[in-house]
């Protein structure tokens, strides 16, 4: 947070949805990221920032995406291509490269609407698998299932707070 010309805290804009922060002494910044997920390894390597990957059933993830952006959304289009690359598959889906190729090939033979949905669901699953690998490799990262927050919210949020180095307030 910087200061404006008059000495008052400048307002910083974050992301597409533009969120404003007016507290000069902030310590935590939540980034709900869905656009550069494939950069996760680089961010973890470069910054080592406490990171929580919340994994939800890929069908629900894609359904939420379509509800917000419509079927024409471009989100995950580049990722669909990237997760099929040999290097990605060798790293995050070792031994299953042929299976992934077969599943994407099957989706490619479907009518356009179903092909769009299937490609994004498959892509989301592969990205979740990447998150699981990264959470095992990087001590600063943790993967949790979305359902944990629904089924046992108090326990899940305590685990999440610990993973993110946030003090948990006891009642």
Binned at pLDDT 50, 70 and 90, residue 89 comes out as very high
The pLDDT mean for the chain works out to 85
Give the pTM.
Answer: 0.80
pLDDT per position as a tens digit, 108-149? 999 999 999 999 999 999 999 999 999 999 999 999 999 999
Binned at pLDDT 50, 70 and 90, residue 16 comes out as very low
Residues 6 or more apart whose CB falls under 8 angstroms from that of 170 comprise none
């Amino acid at each position: 947070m910087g200061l404006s010309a008059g000495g008052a805290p400048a307002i910083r804009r974050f992301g597409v949805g533009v969120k404003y922060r007016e507290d000069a002494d902030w310590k935590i910044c939540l980034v709900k990221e869905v656009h550069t997920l494939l950069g996760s390894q680089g961010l973890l390597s470069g910054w080592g920032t406490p990171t929580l990957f919340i994994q939800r059933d890929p069908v629900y993830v894609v359904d939420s995406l379509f509800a917000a952006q419509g079927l024409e959304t471009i989100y995950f289009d580049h990722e669909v291509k990237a997760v099929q690359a040999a290097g990605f598959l060798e790293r995050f889906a070792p031994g299953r490269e042929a299976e992934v190729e077969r599943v994407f090939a099957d989706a490619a033979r479907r009518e356009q609407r179903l092909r769009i949905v299937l490609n994004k669901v498959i892509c989301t699953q592969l990205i979740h698998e990447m998150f699981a690998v990264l959470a095992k490799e990087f001590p600063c990262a943790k993967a949790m299932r979305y359902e944990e927050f629904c089924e046992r919210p108090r326990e899940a949020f305590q685990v999440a707070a610990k993973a993110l180095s946030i003090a948990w307030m006891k009642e």
